[in-house]
Structure 1
């Protein structure tokens, strides 16, 4: 099997993009799982947090399916969606598009640069659900908003929401960020357990002043990543719920991979979030794959130069975080 790939990242959250629209590939569900496990392995020449399969849709401009490095499928990925937004907008020569995802059709579009010479796209994060059954989360109440979870931590309060990926969000202090607490409780909630039977993304959020936050996320099926788009969106919403930030205002969201901007909308009891950030391409490659032998060979690779601009953003972000944290 021969496949052409495009590797890119959103906020340092990196993905292999497989274009099924112009290449007319045919994959079984087992193929998708195996490809994710094989190509995303960090010990190989490629490696990534996941694969974005870009497909035709019968009602939207395109369809996105996201497979994590462990072969599990994610219902959404905000950082990945920005890459797909760019791919489709450039392919179809338009500035706005609608992308079909597992749970919703989402509006995306090209936006002004978040930093000089960085391709920037806005994507819709929706639906937002607080019903614990949507995660699922075994809890004694219909929702979990800023409460302790007995047996998990006696020093943190969590808010649970699905966007539509499942998230647990905790507002923390710097000392808690610097401890092993997040790693320990995240690993507990992502192995067989009675609280989150399907696992959950766990984010620690440190306010950096009004209109700015830092977010670090342990992603279900991946572990710690540079950034998680849906987690940064959910975290922004939680800070609005707690009065730390305002609805309808731009929130600067910093992460280990860089930064994004979020705007939380609240109308008629419903929430949705705009996630605005980079869609940076790293390289194009062609690979020959032997699924049976669980092996592949990179037959060609073309490095791109966009990362140089993004590294300037990262340097600026690291300087700011040292000042704030």
Structure 2
């Protein structure tokens, strides 16, 4: 099985301050763990291209794109930041990094649909699932998975795609982008009540939202996935699956208060792959979202990739 691994050095140049948990160190920790785990040479490394504004415009408003493009500080002001909200800001390299992050997801989609690889993982930042069509928020600039999914539907002609989101936070931006779109089924679990405090009030019929309380462990999450995600996915019969792969529900991650471990992420990945084998010709594109404890993040990504690449 061939798994493409998309990343780019530009994604390490976007930063929001030395204090900020969504830091370039996240990607470096993943790179280091891939080497330490001796699987880096078994992946098909690919350089993420830049998304075009046409790619972004399938999801985001012109004003949302303009606000990020035009408000990045000059590269002469390398250590300056432009605040979008209390915890999301732009530096001189954010525009470039954001284009790479979305571009990786689009390129991975094409590679999978063209049969070059069976699946792909995009080790990119900024993350995306909080970015709504009209607003960057929650560390996210553009919604990478939504941009790729729109590309699959509107350019590549797929009729049914599924989005799986296992970040500790609800993917409010992705839900807003696809609410009531009968071509899309989104399944997710998320800690509740917790940022962004969405996902529980009248979700659309194409959303399977599973709010779980703090301190929930893997056995609880596995049961909920078995009872709710998997039947919905099988009924929907997706032609391709996109994953918003956040690893901040890990028990070592202080960003949330859940109790997952690497084995849980491996199990979730195996279940998604089974659905993809049944209905989607094994086609999966996974994009990094959250995960802020560097060791737990890196170990969890390796567990996820080992299953995707059939390296267990």
Please tell me the TM-score bracket, short chain as reference: under 0.3
So what's the TM-score if we normalise by structure 2? 0.28
> Would you tell me which structure has more helix in proportion to its own residues?
2
So what's the TM-score if we normalise by structure 1? 0.27
